Structure 1
Amino acid sequence: MKNAQISLRSLLSSLFAMVLLAVLFQACSKDDGPVTPPVDKTRLKARLDSATATYTAAQEGVQVGQYEVGSRAVFKTAIDAATTVNTNAGATQSEVNNAYVNLGQAQTTFASKQVQEIAPANLVLFLKMDGNANDASGKGLNGTLKPGATGVGSWTGWGGTSTNLPVATKDRYGNDNRAYSFDKGANIEVPYNSVLNPSKELTIAAWVRPTKVNESNYIVSLNRWNGYKFQLQSVNKVFMTVKTAPDKIFDRDNESPTLDLNKWYHAAVTYKSGEMVFYINGTPVKTWTDVTGDPFAVKSTINLTIGQDLPTGLYQFNEKNDADGNNFHGPWGGFFTGDIDEVRMYNVVLGGTQIRSIYNAEKP
């Protein structure tokens, strides 16, 4: 009997202990809530290490492989912001994740600021205008200084040629005889070569200083609207025409800004099917996407001209049967009035960084 009482007492004690433990466990579970996992900064730390190494090795400048001036400071700001989150013991996982994404975007932007090489084969014409019209591209397409057509009375009576050749003048740095001044059709004629008529892509860039607003201030032209032409128009905006089929011509301008007179600008345009982009002083100012087709040139063996819409010898005003049957040269336009320097043409679309690097290397 005594042993039975002891066993019962032990059993009750065990049951009471089990009930107490269950109550305590349930209470603890309700009070403590879910356990928060530790914040993981592994990916952020790895990206910080990579970004810091890139920043440390980067050099600013205009040479291939260098980065645009000012871009390192912007990148360093992003690195510092990510470092602040990484070293903050109280940072949440959401803050860490955001810092990781933001730093990745900054890395991508910084990479886009690196000056890229332009293959020499892609440069098809480079007229430095340093006292002559020789081609520095290596293609040997040297230009010749030509006079424009001269007028007698109304433009319908124009005929013959004048003696107003392009005149050597100061460049944007103020150096004598390092650019050419153009007026009244004075032009530089470059002998036709198939490389001047690229089949897919095109980039034209030049330093220009307009001194008069004309309806058609031609800078570079390959048979004007039967091929392509780069010019200023009636309100002094940069303008490009590209013909892509016998019945398809695209005329577009940079929209804004307009160019001031008597001031040097670096003007550039790129074209490929689906995109025409204008640049002023290294900055993209307008992108057109409603252009389609590859460059197409009718009568493509016509020589290219700098400073006029057509080679002077093709104007036959009395018979009105110049290169395309449309007299266009007149007192209101068809020729550039002002100074031109450093004309470049490429058979590829240059990227924004490449065009900015040209501008940064040559700006006064």
Structure 2
Amino acid sequence: MKFSNLYTKGWLLGLTLATATFSSCKKDGNPNNLPEIDASNYAGKIDGFSSSDEVYPKNLVAYWSFDGTKNEIKSATAPTSTSNDTFIPSGVKGQALSLNAGYLYYGTQFNAVKTAALKSFTLSEWVQISNNGSKKTMLFQIARPGLFNGSFDFILETNANPATNTDYIQIHPYFTTLGGGRQDNINNFGATNLSPKIGANKWVHFVITYDGTSGIFDIWANAIKVGNYPSRGTGNNVFNSFEPSEIIMGGVYNLIPGKSVSTDTSFGAMTGSIDEVRLYNTPLPQAYISALYNLGLAGK
């Protein structure tokens, strides 16, 4: 059968158009012309970071690594006095500091915790601790000379349960307000009642965040939010870092010779270990708290 030239040309034109149309419908794997990703740039990283040191470095205002030194790293401030402390090799990241009814006392005004410098904050630290059934433990205090309560008191109520209870630790931080009152959060009331497992050889990552704009005061344990009363108000109820101030870890003034300020005996010097204490001048978002936790688990 013969076909006219006109028919043949029309058929070829239609085939060409159909082929072009089909080709134009193929999916473009990079429609926005994004740059190529080199997988090697992410090798060995956790949550996008190679080290805890990469998490919010510009807002890190004080840091204790306890890797062979008790000095605060950023200011090179040495403790004024210490008691019953020793370095141990099995820290979260390098060495850690073990306390046996001990404490660290820094009788220095840190610029990082002056009133104008610390309106919001995050405190992150790794801790090994057990309940004791008798005395509270002050993990970290921005202390006010001559006063029992500090501007910020990170308290573990290790007195609330016996040492055999490794399923629950009562976490009870406080801060002093601009108006002179006290605000707190705690993990033992309400529906959640969350707590990490604890023990003398079990590292737990504790984080306290405070947002001076919203008044939100949160408790985190192993990257899980566990506080029951985060909304602490604004106005005269906001946190205030009073001056002068000092820093105490593992104790209170009444446990330091020559520094007693009251007859309160509710606290005992800390028995346990601490590592990687970081103070930021901003409330870290949850993703970065999780990153610090995951990096710590990996020794980074």
Query: Which range, TM-score by smaller chain?
Result: 0.5 to 0.7
Q: How does 1:256-271 map to 2 (within 5 A)?
A: 256-262=194-200, 263-271=202-210
Structure 1 residues 359 and 247: alpha-carbon distance in aligned structure 2, compared to 1, 3 A threshold? same
CA contact (8 A) 2:80 2:105 kept: yes
Q: Does 1:120 align with 2:57?
A: yes
Q: Using the alignment, how far apart are the partners of 2:263 and 2:36 within structure 1?
A: 58
Greater relative contact order, per chain length (Cα 8 Å cut-off, separation 6+)? 2
Q: 1:350 corresponds to which residue?
A: 284
Q: How does 1:98-177 map to 2 (within 5 A)?
A: 118-136=55-73, 138-147=74-83, 165-172=84-91
Report Cα offsets for 1:276-316 as digits up to 9, x if no partner.
Answer: 12221223333644212432244x32320111123725534
CA contact (8 A) 2:103 2:248 kept: no
Q: 2:183 corresponds to which residue?
A: 250
- Shift of residue 118, structure 1, vs aligned partner: 4.5
Report Cα offsets for 1:326-364 as digits up to 9, x if no partner.
Answer: 333x3x524322111111111111111112222222215
Q: Give 4+ residue runs of structure 1 displaced > 4 Å after superposition.
A: 48-64, 115-119
Q: 1:309 corresponds to which residue?
A: 252
Q: Using the alignment, how far apart are the partners of 2:142 and 2:208 within structure 1?
A: 15
Q: Using the alignment, how far apart are the partners of 2:149 and 2:258 within structure 1?
A: 15
Structure 1 residues 303 and 363: alpha-carbon distance in aligned structure 2, compared to 1, 3 A threshold? same
Question: Structure 1 regions of 5+ residues with no counterpart?
Answer: 1-44, 69-114, 148-164, 317-321
Q: 1:283 corresponds to which residue?
A: 224
Q: 2:142 corresponds to which residue?
A: 222
TM-score (norm 1): 0.56
Q: Using the alignment, how far apart are the partners of 1:50 and 1:347 within structure 2?
A: 41
Q: How does 1:287-302 map to 2 (within 5 A)?
A: 288-293=229-234, 294-298=238-242, 300-302=243-245
CA contact (8 A) 1:116 1:353 kept: no
CA contact (8 A) 1:133 1:143 kept: yes
Amino acid at match of 2:232: V
Q: CA RMSD in A?
A: 3.5
Q: Using the alignment, how far apart are the partners of 2:33 and 2:53 within structure 1?
A: 21
Q: Using the alignment, how far apart are the partners of 2:53 and 2:280 within structure 1?
A: 15
CA contact (8 A) 1:203 1:270 kept: yes
Q: 1:237 corresponds to which residue?
A: 170
Q: 1:183 corresponds to which residue?
A: 100
- Shift of residue 171, structure 1, vs aligned partner: 2.7
Number of residue pairs the alignment of both structures matches: 241
Q: Using the alignment, how far apart are the partners of 1:226 and 1:232 within structure 2?
A: 15
Relative to total residues, which structure has the larger strand share, 1 or 2?
2
- Shift of residue 134, structure 1, vs aligned partner: 1.9
CA contact (8 A) 2:204 2:221 kept: yes
**Per the alignment, in what secondary structure is the counterpart of residue 287 of structure 2?**
helix
- Shift of residue 238, structure 1, vs aligned partner: 2.3
Q: 1:18 corresponds to which residue?
A: none
- Shift of residue 211, structure 1, vs aligned partner: 3.3
TM-score (norm 2): 0.67
- Shift of residue 251, structure 1, vs aligned partner: 1.8
Amino acid at match of 1:278: I
Structure 1 residues 63 and 258: alpha-carbon distance in aligned structure 2, compared to 1, 3 A threshold? closer
Structure 1 residues 303 and 254: alpha-carbon distance in aligned structure 2, compared to 1, 3 A threshold? same
Question: Structure 2 regions of 5+ residues with no counterpart?
Answer: 1-26, 162-168, 189-193
